[in-house]
């Protein structure tokens, strides 16, 4: 009974960690689709790069974990502004060329990290050591803190999008870019802000998961698949749907391995998604995918 309680509690915490991470990365991806009209297939490697930059700050420069995390978020936001200005902005509305840019960025970043860091798995040092004793159940403080950080940033994003001037401008551009221009909204400034936000959230998530699991040059590939699943099932344009589908996918990834070993749990999720999209290709909550 004690063992079952421990497993259940750990799985609940894992659900919160995975769900908040998936949602943060997916929301950054969705922001670029909605505001910049870019299908950023490089978002997975941006997530991976954030983890390696955080590891560099800690391992090579000897910085405190929390300071390294903050600097990683800033560095990724600056990279987002740079990419919007010199890559995405030039090809807004040109799907084929923007896709080529994203694929090129993926190959360049992934190959560079592979050459510098190698293919062996590494891990960011633990942010918080020790366990929390809940009755007779032990829960890792690391997982609790990661889930709190993820949920906290999600709440900040909800506040930003729904109750600030910048958020209203972002929603206006997503709904009607021509109307937003006529209202005097600076499209390029908002696009740069959205890109910085998306990259920062991806970098934050990559750093947290680099501590929670490990780092690998190809960890972004798996995350990109998760993000595409979340966005497609939610429906392009549905921010609220991303929260729901991200939580469901996180719960499935946390609970299914308890009953299905190996890659079987992943296979079950993919088959279920394919069946769902066959019957509802526009997604559950949004517009046509």
Phi-psi sector, 237: left (phi>0), alpha (psi -120 to 50), beta: left
Which two structure tokens, joined as six digits, stand for 185? Answer: 């909204």
Q: Enumerate residues 6+ apart whose C-beta is below 8 A from 116.
A: none
Please indicate, yes or no, if residue 171 is contained in any of the structural domains: yes
Whether residue 123 lies inside any domain: the answer is yes
Domain extent for 51 = 12-218
pLDDT confidence tier of residue 3, bands split at 50, 70 and 90: low
User: What span, in angstroms and rounded, lies between the C-alpha atoms of 154 and 27?
Assistant: 9
Whether residue 203 lies inside any domain: the answer is yes
Question: Residue 132: pLDDT above 80?
Answer: no
pLDDT digits (tens, 9 = 90+) for 51-92: 999 999 998 888 999 999 999 999 999 999 999 998 888 877
Percent of the chain with pLDDT over 90: 28
First-to-last CA distance in the chain?
Answer: 45
DSSP structure string for 276-289: HHHH-TT-SSSB--
For residue 107, what are its two tokens?
A: 């190959």
- Spell out the alpha helix ranges (H) of 139-280: 141-163, 165-175, 177-182, 187-212, 219-234, 239-255, 264-279
Q: Is residue 70 part of a domain?
A: yes
Q: Number of structural domains, the chain? A: 1
Residue 248 inside a domain? The answer is no
Distance (Å, whole) CA 263 – CA 125? 27
Residue 244 counted as domain residue: no
Backbone dihedral angles phi then psi of residue 139, each to the nearest 5 degrees: -125, 130
pTM for this prediction: 0.89
| Segment 192-237, tens digit of pLDDT | 999 999 999 999 999 999 988 889 999 999 899 999 988 888 876 6
Classify 133 as helix, strand or coil: strand
């Amino acid at each position: 009974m004690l063992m079952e309680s421990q497993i259940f509690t750990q799985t609940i915490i894992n659900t919160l960690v995975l769900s908040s991470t998936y949602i943060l990365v997916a929301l950054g991806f969705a922001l670029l689709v909605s505001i910049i009209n870019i299908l950023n297939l490089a978002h997975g490697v941006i997530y991976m790069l954030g983890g390696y930059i955080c590891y560099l700050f800690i391992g090579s420069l000897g910085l405190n974990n929390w300071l390294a995390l903050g600097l990683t978020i800033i560095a990724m936001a600056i990279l987002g502004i740079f990419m919007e200005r010199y890559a995405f902005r030039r090809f807004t509305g040109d799907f084929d060329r923007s896709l080529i840019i994203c694929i090129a960025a993926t190959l360049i970043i992934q190959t560079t990290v592979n050459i510098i860091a190698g293919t062996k798995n590494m891990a960011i040092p633990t942010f918080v050591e020790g366990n929390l004793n809940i009755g007779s159940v032990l829960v890792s403080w690391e997982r609790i803190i990661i889930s709190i950080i993820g949920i906290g940033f999600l709440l900040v994003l909800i506040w930003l999008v729904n109750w600030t001037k910048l958020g209203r401008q972002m929603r206006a551009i997503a709904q009607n870019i021509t109307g937003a221009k006529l209202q005097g909204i600076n499209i390029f400034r908002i696009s740069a802000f959205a890109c910085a936000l998306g990259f920062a959230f991806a970098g934050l998530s990559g750093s947290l998961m680099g501590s929670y699991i490990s780092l690998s040059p190809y960890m972004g590939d798996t995350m990109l698949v998760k993000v595409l699943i979340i966005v497609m099932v939610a429906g392009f344009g549905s921010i609220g749907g991303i929260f729901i589908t991200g939580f469901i996918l996180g719960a499935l990834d946390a609970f299914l391995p308890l009953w299905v070993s190996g890659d079987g749990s992943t296979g079950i999720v993919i088959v279920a998604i394919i069946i769902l999209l066959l019957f509802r290709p526009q997604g559950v909550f949004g517009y046509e995918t």
